[in-house]
Structure 1
Amino acid sequence: MTELLLAATSLDVTPPPGHRLDGYAARTDLATGAADPLRATIIWLSTADEPGVLWLTLDAIAVGKNLTTELAVAAGAAAGIPASHVVVSASHTHSGPSGWTGEIHPVIPAERERDLVDALTTEVRATCLARRSVTASWRSVEVIGVGTNRHRRSGPHDNTAGILALHSPEGSLEAVLLDFACHPTTYGPENLRYSADWPGAARAALAPAVVGFLQGAAGDVSPRFTRQGRGAAEVARLGGLLASRVREALAGPGLALPQSAPAIRRTTLDLKVREIPSAAEAARLVVAAESRANGQDDPSGRIAQTRLDGARGQALMAAVPLPDSLELPISVVTMGDVCWVNLPVELFAVHGACLQADSTHPVTRVVGYTDGYYGYVVDHSAAESGAYEALITYFDQPTTTQLLSRTTAFMNT
């Protein structure tokens, strides 16, 4: 009989102070310390005969192409499996260092810091991954109050959390692979301390189980309308809310999954980069956005400010040479009835819903920010209204449709 094997660990990879934080163009000062640890979490499911899949989840704004390659090689070496069986995902916290990935978009110039990258990959490569027998089960649960659509409270948002639970033969919860869609932006640009934000608080609340967090289709989802503050107490409240719902789901029955290793398939999509307005037109849009920004720290004020940020970001895109096309790595992981489709972009919620609706798998979870980073993928409404995300996306609406249709075709192959 095949035995499902788990190796799971969570590494504290918090850098020292003095490095630039990522996530907000308005933040220029260097990190002064840590509010809570940044972690690289490994969950590896395999059998004695099959390498299975190793998920490496990192508390970072993104995992760029180079960082993905280096981490996949390091984690593969630690496990003794090919790097092609490693999936590298970012939580998308806006309180991590920019130096791991470097510049993810012209909006926030940054450089890779070799000392930070080497420290991270060395830690991952040196990890001891002892495997033990587990059983796998699946649950999903509705979570209200962590995030909503950030353009309008009643807008599209997948408020379900997906839960892959891994129990020992004796019944103890060993690890959880948890996915949920919402920007980790409890801390704002004024924060100068590293933080995993609410995903880290949710992990801590679910201890001692090892929790790997996967960020969903969160391009237009955030705590903008739900957060009650900006500090550590609010991080704990939001993370605790998610964790409490996960615990409730774990207390009930789940869908038993087969005792076989998960499988992974990969492909690459070549997508055309949209035409950016001229420098003069981009500058005109900045002036118009400046006239509408009021500086208020309320939902409407923050929307106006983000649109100004988007206009400035588009102006930066107009000032640099962009490639004609981008190659996006797409992967599909399946385990029994459950499918995770992984994309290296920030999908809007409606796109995640479309992929789920068109999937032939009984359970489909859409994961972004994985194996690379190529910015926002926006819906028609955002493109027409000139939302922040639409101003800095690399892709127009026809290309977005192509991305979704080709991903669906590969997912259902």
Structure 2
Amino acid sequence: MPTLTAGFAQVDITPPIGVGMSGYGSRTKPADGINDPLIAQALVLSSGEQAAAIVCMDNIGLNWDMVCAARERAEVASGIPEGNIVIAGSHTHWGPMTSGGKYMPEYLRATISEEYNETLVAALARIVAEANSSRVEVVAGIGSGFSDLVTFNRRVGAPDLSTLWIAAMPPERAIIASREGNRLAREWRRGEHRGPRLSAPIAELDGNRVGPADGEVGLLRLETLDGMPLAGLVNFACHAVCGGDEETFYSWSADWPGQARAAFSSLLGGPMMFAAGCSGDQVPRWRQGNSRERVGKSVGAEAAHVWWGIDENSGDLPLGVTRRSIELPPNTRVPSLAQAQANLAAKPDPEGSDAQWERACVMLAEEIEAGLAAEVWAMRLGDLGIIGLPGEPLTEIGLQIKQRSPFAHTMVVSLANGAMAYFPTDDAIHAGGYEAEWSPVGLGTERMLVETGLDLLRDLYGRGEG
């Protein structure tokens, strides 16, 4: 079996002050400060004739054009085929707006910096090349644990069976939603098809029902032959929306993933990479104040605990990469482009806050008209399978892939090689709510993503690589 080698590199990608911010439609100006730096990290793995690069960055997610530009440049700089490279965003809501944002007023869209975008693309390609050139022989270990009182599912079932969208709860209610959601997720057992979608009515939550909360912390551990940590790749499903004090609402921040990396590194002396799981409906228990530290340290410490608990390492693990392009079905509830444009034009102030939904409908209609092509990316390293999905899947999509995967360990990475939209389940589309309405994709998306991901994993599992 060929020898496994790996290399790691990172770069500061904090934008200049004055660049527009992504994440919140309530913002009225560009960034005016730096709370903590944004970084991008690259991990290159190579075994025999196979090589793959995983790039994780503090960004809400890159569009397809920027992903393609970065992968093409990385291939030229490193020799790694562009199809073997995945670029994933952490989904911090305190990062730059690099594209889109058409639901935002024009004066904010004008704060997108093409100069910064060019710098970012170049930086991503450069760290792939640097990681590739710094490769050394390594041994890899794979494991998982749980940080299962950190998140809850913000799609809540009301007693009348309607769907509520609750982004934040008081602490005494959030812990109940978190505990019950994680209990549900644990019932999505391996080898089965789906699991419970909603809990029984919970008296402490006014009779509301909660959905699954996936608290699994997946880890790929890479050590040099002398036992030094090269890097840890961590997969966890939680929106990066903790925030801090009010005065930092316009300050760049990696949010809780930055604190997780810091906690992990302080415990192990090596870097942690964060790959967001299927967190389209997963939000942190705590908000503002010291919530970034609470969530980040919880996840980072659990990842370190998993690292120490892995007792099997190997340097002769099979490595393989594959991908598939698919066309996702459209959201049929979105008006036609002509109708959406007419609705927007009819607003007294099309650029005002009261026209945000109409601007969003124009954006969604344009995306549908352009076609909803998506790339599903997959990699294997030994008993670990990784799936990359180019949007924000609801957690049930990730749970289905993990429970039916042929691999002993599976990571499902969101916002990977694209940031198309929310990827709702069919049940969520029927129920309605934010994630289903603010998406260009429609019924059948769930099945296409799950089955495509599983097909790719089975292919990698069956053929192996080396």
TM over 0.5, shorter chain: yes
- 2:261 partner letter: R
Q: Which residue of 1 aligns with 2:147?
A: 143
Do the aligned residues in 2 keep the contact of 1:309 with 1:388 (CA within 8 Å)? no
Report the alpha carbon displacement of residue 257 of structure 1 after superposing the two structures with TM: 4.5
Q: TM-score, normalised by structure 1?
A: 0.84
Q: Alpha-carbon deviations, 1:330-353, whole Å to 9, x = none? A: 111001111001110211111111
Map 1:7-406 to 2 at 5 A: 7-47=7-47, 49-99=48-98, 102-103=99-100, 106=103, 110=109, 113-127=113-127, 128-129=130-131, 130-152=134-156, 153=177, 154=181, 155-187=211-243, 191-207=249-265, 208-223=269-284, 226-227=285-286, 229-231=287-289, 233-260=290-317, 262-278=319-335, 315-317=361-363, 322-323=368-369, 325-406=371-452
Task: Provide the C-alpha distance between the structure 2 equivalents of 1:158 and 1:309, rounded to a whole number of angstroms.
Answer: 35
Deviation at 1:383, TM superposition (A): 2.2
Q: Distance in 2 between matches of 1:35 and 1:9?
A: 23
Q: CA deviation at 1:320?
A: 5.0
For the residues of structure 1 that align with 2:140 and 2:365, how far apart are their CA atoms?
50
- 1:133-175: CA deviation from partner (whole Å, max 9, x where unpaired): 2110001001023211122423112110110001111212120
Report the equivalent of 1:295: none
Q: 1:319 to 1:370 in 2, by over 3 A?
A: closer
Distance 1:105 1:249, change over 3 A: farther
Distance 1:369 1:309 in 2: 27
**Structure 1 segments unaligned to the other structure (5+ residues):** 284-307
* Helix, strand or coil at the partner of 1:201: helix
- Name the counterpart of 1:303: none
Contact 2:318/2:380, CA 8 A, preserved across alignment: no
Question: Per-residue displacement from partner, 1:71-101 (whole Å, max 9, x unpaired)?
Answer: 21333344332222211111111111012xx
Contact 2:426-2:445 at 8 Å conserved across structures:
no
Contact 2:140 2:315 in 1 (8 A): yes
Identity of aligned residues (%): 27
Give the partner amino acid of 1:205.
A
Contact 2:6 2:43 in 1 (8 A): yes
The separation in 1 between residues aligned to 2:297 and 2:451, in whole angstroms, is 37
Contact 1:343 1:370 in 2 (8 A): yes
**Which runs of 5 or more residues in structure 2 are unaligned?**
157-176, 182-210, 344-353, 460-466
**Inter-partner Cα distance in structure 2 for 1:346 and 1:274:** 15
Counterpart CA distance in 1 for 2:325 and 2:386 is: 16
When normalised by structure 2's length, the TM-score is 0.75
Aligned with 1:123: secondary structure? helix
The count of aligned residue pairs is 383
1:215 Cα deviation (Å)? 0.7
Q: 1:241 to 1:204 in 2, by over 3 A?
A: same
Superposed CA deviations along residues 216-268 of structure 1, whole A, max 9, x for unmatched, are 11111011xx10x414x321221111111112112223443452462110110
Runs of 4+ in 1 over 6 A off after TM superposition: none
State how far apart, in whole Å, the 1-side matches of 2:92 and 2:355 are. Answer: 18
* More divergent stretch after superposition (109-118 vs 325-334): 109-118
- The verdict on how the C-alpha distance between 1:266 and 1:318 changes in structure 2, with shifts beyond 3 A counting, is closer
Q: Which range is displaced more, 395-404 or 49-58? A: 395-404
Return the offset for 1:65. 0.5
Going from structure 1 to structure 2, the CA distance change for 1:105 and 1:92 (only over 3 Å counts) comes to farther
Q: Does 1:410 align with 2:456?
A: yes
DSSP 3-state at the match of 1:137: strand
Once residues 456 and 280 of structure 2 are traced to their aligned partners in structure 1, the CA distance between those partners, rounded to angstroms, is: 22
Q: Is the 8 A contact 2:92 2:240 kept in 1?
A: yes
State the shift of 1:363 in Å: 2.0
Once the two structures are TM-superposed, the CA of residue 309 in structure 1 deviates from its matched residue by 10
Note closer, same or farther for the CA distance 1:164–1:277 as it changes in structure 2 (3 Å cut). closer
Aligned to 1:289: none
Q: In 2 relative to 1, CA 160–17 (structure 1 residues): closer, same or farther, beyond 3 Å?
A: same
Q: 1:201 to 1:271 in 2, by over 3 A?
A: same
Q: 1:126 Cα deviation (Å)?
A: 4.0
Kindly state the Cα deviation for residue 412 of structure 1 after the two structures are TM-superposed. Answer: 2.0
2:239 and 2:9 map into 1 onto residues whose CA distance is: 24
